[in-house]
Amino acid sequence: MDDLNDWIEPLKGHPQAVTPNFTRFMQRSVCFTNANCPSPGCNPSRTAIMTGLAPYTSGVYSNYQDWREAIPNHRTMGSYFRQHGYFSSGAGKIFHYHMVDPDCWDEYWPSQQQNMPEEAFPDFAKSPLATADNPTPATMNMPAFHQMYGMFDWSALDIPDEEMGDFKSVDYVLQQLNKPRDKPLFLACGIYRPHLPWYVPRKYFDMFPLDDVVLPKRLENDLDDVGPRAKDIAVRGGGYHQHVVDAGQWKQAVQGYLASIAFADAMFGRLLDGLDESGQQENTIVVLWSDHGWQLGEKQHWRKFALWDNVVRSVLMIHVPKNTLGLRDGSADGQLCHRPVSLQDIYPTLVDVCGLPANTEIDGHSLTPLLTKPDAPWDHVALTTYDFGEFSVRSERYRYTRYIDGSEELYDHQSDTEEWHNLARDPEYSQIKKQLAAEIPRSPAPLVKTSEKLKPHHIPPFRSRAEYDEWLQHGKDNQYLLDKYWR
């Protein structure tokens, strides 16, 4: 799932979430309630998951990098399974758009090049507000040239599910599942919703009457106790929250996100139904994951690209059937696991439970002990990095974050699940802060510049504190950074 936060019934992130199929799968899997993404951006998170290399190992920190140039000779998850006798196939968005690894797949839909917008996601162009002059309108009536709103849009579509790209991805995956094979199968289904734009059939919008929509919890002046860099992140890209509020679109946006989640849940339900009907249920390991979370106004911030819990916390559920080679008793289905884990752990876990030779060249930890006993001792934290040199460390109780400008945040999730009270300056917590800070890599891989083309409205990742300070001195001029460092 793309951009899915904890607004699902099993994680109780929003009181109006309607996700019966996520709930159904929770009852037949281990649900990790404290799963964290490697990075709060599609490209670095998906690269980390599929290559097994954390951003601080690979140097891939941003959507503005082509990971294939940064780590050209590394074996991805699908290619590792292919090497050990599996047929590998998939559909939809698994890698970040065109940055696909051909060695990962024997077959892929719509193509090995992942020509997504036209073939896999035809709903991109289905906005009821679209015109010939403005094919990708912004709901808030912003000028078409205002690039920050290129896909920042939401509206019901008067079309059946069958016309949606995600429906077609599921169709392809179910076809692959039911083909006779003489090899074991590695199969991936990338469901694009709830990624923007939030265009889904009208029946999903109708599930959430606008007048009844509940806005996310938010504290006025929530940013008063965070540093300058965190404040920059909250409004980076142009100050989405103020634009949404001024346009009177906050409830409409929440409605669109809830509707898109409900649609994604329906597509996942089709996958579960198809798996059960195929007769392969007791012979199939299933992993459900979202690449990162999302914010809809919390801390005056929208989208991903931040290190707060709403963004970093991700969906992760794993089912392992009994008599699986690396986990004979199967997973402890129907149980919740509250240990801090990372999506980085998916690759080593699948290698482990499938009985493949251990891949010693990847990061992460096998979750096998927690799949057997979700409350088993676990001495690991979950580490997330945003851009270069900015890290968030999640233990079972605390989240500690350090930014490139040296500012810090510390939240106690036992008493402050919304992260409203930054304890980083409280001397009572200095030892906890020191312990968590020790988990941050001392020499993270440098950010690798690749050939991806940046535009003036892009903010490239800062490669040092000095570069960040220089950007501030030039009036936060993105063009200055692009001309000096990224051309």
Mean pLDDT of 388-406: 97
For the entire predicted model, the pTM comes to 0.93
Q: What does the pLDDT look like over 30-88, one tens digit per residue?
A: 999 999 999 999 999 999 999 999 999 999 999 999 999 999 888 899 999 999 999 99
pLDDT on residue 97? 78
Q: What does the pLDDT look like over 193-205, one tens digit per residue?
A: 999 999 999 999 9
Q: Is 135 a residue whose pLDDT tops 70? A: no
Distance between CA atoms of 425 and 400, rounded to whole angstroms? 12
pLDDT on residue 485? 86
- Joined together, the tokens standing for residue 473 give 């001195």
42 in catalytic set: yes
pLDDT on residue 147? 45
Mean pLDDT of 158-166: 95
pLDDT on residue 146? 40
Backbone angles phi, psi at 104, to 5 degrees: -75, -25
What is the edge-to-edge ordering of all strands in the sheet holding 335-337? Answer: 286-289, 316-319, 30-32, 335-337
Distance between CA atoms of 302 and 241, rounded to whole angstroms? 6
- Joined together, the tokens standing for residue 179 give 């083909």
Distance between CA atoms of 130 and 384, rounded to whole angstroms? 38
Using CA atoms, how far residue 143 sits from 129, 150, 301, in Å, is 13, 10, 21
Backbone angles phi, psi at 236, to 5 degrees: -60, 145
Out of 39-53, 355-369, 451-465, least confident range: 451-465
Distance between CA atoms of 389 and 109, rounded to whole angstroms? 36
Distance between CA atoms of 372 and 9, rounded to whole angstroms? 23
Out of 432-436, 443-447, 452-456, 476-480, least confident range: 452-456
- Joined together, the tokens standing for residue 232 give 């920059």
Q: Which of 96, 195, 292, 319 is catalytic?
A: 96
Place of tokens 């798996």: 275
> Contact, 139 vs 249, CB < 8 A?
yes
Q: Is 19 a residue whose pLDDT tops 50? A: yes
Pairwise pLDDT comparison (453 vs 83), residue with the higher score: 83
pLDDT on residue 457? 78
pLDDT on residue 458? 84
Q: What does the pLDDT look like over 328-347, one tens digit per residue?
A: 999 999 999 999 999 999 99
Domains, in order of start, for the chain: 20-368 (3.40.720.10)
Q: What does the pLDDT look like over 142-153, one tens digit per residue?
A: 333 244 556 789
Q: Which of 31, 42, 189, 337 is catalytic?
A: 42
pLDDT on residue 46? 97
Mean pLDDT of 224-240: 91
Banded pLDDT at 401 (limits 50, 70, 90)? very high
Q: What does the pLDDT look like over 258-288, one tens digit per residue?
A: 999 999 999 999 999 999 999 999 999 999 9
pLDDT on residue 149? 56
> Contact, 341 vs 317, CB < 8 A?
no
Place of tokens 């998906």: 46
Q: What does the pLDDT look like over 290-332, one tens digit per residue?
A: 999 999 999 999 999 999 999 999 999 999 999 998 999 999 9
Distance between CA atoms of 384 and 291, rounded to whole angstroms? 12
Q: Average pLDDT, whole number, for the chain?
A: 91
pLDDT on residue 163? 94
Q: Is 425 a residue whose pLDDT tops 60? A: yes
- Over pLDDT 70: what percentage of the chain? 92
pLDDT on residue 22? 98
Residues 6+ apart with CB under 8 A from 441: 56, 383, 391
Q: What does the pLDDT look like over 166-190, one tens digit per residue?
A: 999 999 999 999 999 999 999 999 9
